[in-house]
Amino acid sequence: METTPENTAHGYIRAGDKEKLRHRLRRIEGQVRGIQRMLDEDAYCIDILTQLGSIVAATEKVGLLILKDHMDHCVRHAVERRDEADEKIEEVVSAVERFLRV
Amino acid sequence: METTPENTAHGYIRAGDKEKLRHRLRRIEGQVRGIQRMLDEDAYCIDILTQLGSIVAATEKVGLLILKDHMDHCVRHAVERRDEADEKIEEVVSAVERFLRV
Amino acid sequence: METTPENTAHGYIRAGDKEKLRHRLRRIEGQVRGIQRMLDEDAYCIDILTQLGSIVAATEKVGLLILKDHMDHCVRHAVERRDEADEKIEEVVSAVERFLRV
Amino acid sequence: METTPENTAHGYIRAGDKEKLRHRLRRIEGQVRGIQRMLDEDAYCIDILTQLGSIVAATEKVGLLILKDHMDHCVRHAVERRDEADEKIEEVVSAVERFLRV
């Protein structure tokens, strides 16, 4: 899926949500760096696994927030205007499918 | 699970694997930063979701490499020496359970 | 979430999809019975695990088909009529969240 | 992975665990049949999704019980006897990998 100029013009994600997402992403980035430190310090494998699981869950949470915004704006607008509604619905379901890796 | 001094002394993860893990973690860190940029540039939500899914998969792959090393060293040694084998097996299965979030 | 009379009246899932879903569910049911037989016959654990993983993937695939139908009908209609659109969007995102167990 | 005669001879899964597993599998089978009924009765999609999620979680729980038994018996014995320990460890990690679908 390419980022088209038309898409980037929208700015679907609400300013308030963006701030929240940035905060969460900075935390995830910090957790990933934390694991590099745990490796350097020969931390116990099980502790590293626990931290990795927490990164996975936090990343999926960010995905859900973005899915919510996408449904609230892009999918909703396409359906309201009956403009590419089928394509948008198909697209978001495929995105969930890739996320679940089914 | 606390990191005990005895645990850190081991350094279970092989030097070669550590280098590979560090490389992967730096890539994941870069991907997380990339998503912050995508947010700043109002990238298309579906593109962001795809990238987040790729971070999740890469993080789980790192988890599997660490699980493999943990089984190869810590669990194997505990079983060979019959020293806390039950505890180690219980612990690693619980770690997989938390990872699967069942 | 209760099944309201109004909901059951709709029959959101298209007849053609229903037939496909029934076919898949019967296959999953057969796989679950197959695992009971594997247990009786002392099949190798790893073979059982592989079969269980295949049931998980097949069940998630059924979930995606139902999600798709739900988006195509229920969510789309709510948005087109501007009737409980917020609630329907909120509800479907929560359903994905529970499915991902985040 | 083939079920070899040698493997079936073991009967790795403890009798007590087998009874518990059979009970859980019968419940999962009942849930799968319940979803076929929900389809026939035009149940609400979100209710069906919730039930499918519960089947996924229950199936993964069964997988974890079998993983635990496999580690307790097969992997442990291979390591204790230093007989195909590498193969058994490799095999169980690959099984977790397939389960996570990474």
- Segment D27-73, tens digit of pLDDT: 999 999 999 999 999 999 999 999 999 999 999 999 999 999 999 99
**Which residues of chain C does A83 touch, with a Cβ-Cβ cutoff of 8 Å?**
none
CA atoms within 13 Å, Cβ hemisphere of B2: 3
Residue A15, pLDDT score: 84
Q: Is residue C30 part of a domain?
A: yes
Contact check, Cβ <8 Å, D102/B60: yes
Q: Which of C26, C68, B63 is nearest to A49 (CA)?
A: B63
Query: Rounded to an integer, what distance in angstroms lies between the CA atom of residue B68 and that of residue B33?
Result: 28
**From the list B64, B76, B102, which residue is nearest D61 (CB)?**
B102
A93 chain-C contacts, CB cut-off 8 A = 64, 67-68, 71
D93–B60: do the CB atoms touch at under 8 Å?
no
Distance CA B56, CA D24 (A): 30
Instruction: pLDDT band for C10, please (50, 70, 90 cuts).
Output: low
Region A16-33: mean pLDDT is 96
Does some domain include residue A6?
A: no
Residue C45, chain A, CB below 8 Å: the answer is no
Band (C18; pLDDT cuts 50, 70, 90): very high
Confidence band of D77 (pLDDT split at 50, 70, 90): very high
The CATH number given to whatever domain includes residue D39 is 1.20.58.1000
A 66-95 residues inside an 8 A Cβ radius of B: 66-67, 69-70, 74, 91-92, 95
Nearest to B53 by CA among B24, B26, B36, B31: B31
User: Is residue D1 pLDDT above 80, yes or no?
Assistant: no
Kindly state whether residue C10 falls inside one of the protein's structural domains. no
Q: Does the beta-carbon distance from D56 to C52 stay under 8 Å?
A: no
In this structure, is residue C43 part of a structural domain? yes
Q: From the candidates C10, C18, C48, which should be mutated to test the interface with D, based on the most D CB atoms within 10 A?
A: C48
**Residue D6: inside a domain:** no
Domain membership flag for residue A75: yes
Residue B24: give the domain boundaries: 16-100
Q: What is the pLDDT of residues B66-102, one digit of tens each?
A: 999 999 999 999 999 999 999 999 999 999 999 888 8
CA angle at D71 for the pair D69 and D77, rounded to the nearest 5°: 105
Looking at residue B101, its pLDDT comes to 87
| A91, two tokens | 């697209």
Task: Please check whether residue B90 lies inside any domain of the structure.
Answer: yes
Rounded Cα gap, residues D29 and D55, in angstroms = 9
Which two structure tokens, joined as six digits, stand for A102?
């089914």
Handedness of CA D94, B80, B96, C44 (dihedral sign): positive
| pLDDT > 50? residue A87 | yes
Q: Would you tell me how many other CB atoms lie within 10 Å of the CB of residue A28? A: 25
CA distance A33 to A29: 6
**DSSP structure class, residue A75:** I
A54 within 8 A of A81, measured Cβ to Cβ:
no
- Per the CB < 8 Å rule, is A102 touching C68? no
- How many domains, chain B? 1
Residue C1 lies in a domain: no
Residue D80 pLDDT > 70: yes
Q: What is the mean pLDDT of residues C33-61?
A: 96
Q: Which value does ipTM take for this structure?
A: 0.88
Report pLDDT for C11: 53
- Shortest CA gap A75–chain C (Å): 9
